[in-house]
C-alpha cells in the first residue's frame, strides 16, 4: 500500500531545477553585462549629456526652420503684387504715349488734362504700394537698374552716365520690375 499513496509521475510533474536555472542564467548574463556597462559612473552622465545636446540641436534646428519660413512668407507677401505691377506699367506706358501725342494738339487740352490726371493717379497708387520709378537721367549707368539701348558721345554728360531715357524703369521695394531703357554717354568725342 505504500506504493498506492505514491503519486504517479507525469510529464507535467517532472522538474529538473538545475536545468531550468542554468537556462535562465544564460539568458540573464548578456543583460547583466549590459546593465553593468551602463551602471558605470560617468557613462549614464555622458549619455544624458549627449541626449541633452541632441535635444538642444533639434530645438535650434526647429527654430531656424521657423525663422526661414517666416522670412520666406514675408518675402512672398511683399512681392505678391509684382505681376500686377508689371502689367500696370504697360498700361501706364500707353497713357504716357497718349499724353505725348496729345501735347502737340492744342484742341485736345481738356482730354489731355484728364489723361494726365489718370496717369498721375495710377503712379500715386503704385507708389503707395512700394512701386517707384527708377531715377536714371544724369545717374551713373548701373546694369542692375538700366538697360543700355545705345551709347553716344556727349558734351553734356561724362562717360558711363545715362543721358536719355527711352522707357522708364520701376522697382517694387528693392526688386527691379523692369530696368530703364537708356542711352549712355561715352563722354566727349575723341580725335579730331
State which residues of the chain have pLDDT below 70: 1-42, 190-192
Count of C-beta atoms within a 10 Å radius of residue 40: 10
Q: Which pLDDT does position 95 carry in this prediction?
A: 87
Classified by CATH at the fold level, domain 133-192 comes out as Nucleotide Exchange Factor Grpe; Chain A, domain 2 (2.30.22)
pLDDT, averaged across the chain? 81
pLDDT score, position 185 = 93
Specify the pLDDT at position 190.
61
Query: Where along the chain do its domains lie?
Result: 41-78, 81-129, 133-192
Report the greatest alpha carbon distance in the chain.
Answer: 148
Q: What is the per-residue pLDDT for 53?
A: 93
Q: Is 89 exposed, middle or buried (0-12, 13-18, 19+ CB in 10 A)?
A: buried
Three-state secondary-structure class, residue 69: helix
* CA atoms of 109 and 112, how far apart (whole Å): 5
What tens digit of pLDDT does each residue of 81-124 get?
888 888 888 888 888 888 888 887 777 777 888 888 889 999 99
Amino acid at each position: 500500500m505504500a506504493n498506492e499513496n505514491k503519486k504517479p509521475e507525469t510529464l507535467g510533474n517532472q522538474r529538473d531545477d538545475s536545468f531550468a536555472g542554468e537556462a535562465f542564467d544564460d539568458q540573464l548574463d548578456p543583460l547583466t553585462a549590459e546593465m553593468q556597462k551602463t551602471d558605470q559612473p560617468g557613462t549614464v552622465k555622458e549619455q544624458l549629456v549627449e541626449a541633452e545636446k541632441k535635444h538642444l540641436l533639434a530645438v535650434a534646428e526647429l527654430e531656424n526652420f521657423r525663422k526661414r519660413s517666416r522670412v520666406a512668407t514675408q518675402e512672398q507677401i511683399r512681392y505678391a503684387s509684382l505681376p500686377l505691377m508689371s502689367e500696370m506699367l504697360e498700361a501706364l506706358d500707353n497713357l504716357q504715349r497718349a499724353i505725348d501725342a496729345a501735347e502737340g494738339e492744342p484742341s485736345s487740352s481738356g482730354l489731355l488734362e484728364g489723361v494726365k490726371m489718370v496717369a498721375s493717379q495710377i503712379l500715386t497708387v503704385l507708389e503707395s504700394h512700394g512701386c517707384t520709378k527708377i531715377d536714371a537721367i544724369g545717374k551713373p549707368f548701373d546694369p542692375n537698374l538700366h538697360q543700355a539701348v545705345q551709347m553716344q558721345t556727349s558734351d553734356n554728360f561724362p562717360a558711363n552716365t545715362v543721358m536719355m531715357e527711352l522707357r522708364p524703369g520701376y522697382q517694387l521695394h528693392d526688386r527691379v520690375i523692369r530696368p530703364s531703357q537708356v542711352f549712355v554717354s561715352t563722354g566727349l568725342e575723341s580725335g579730331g
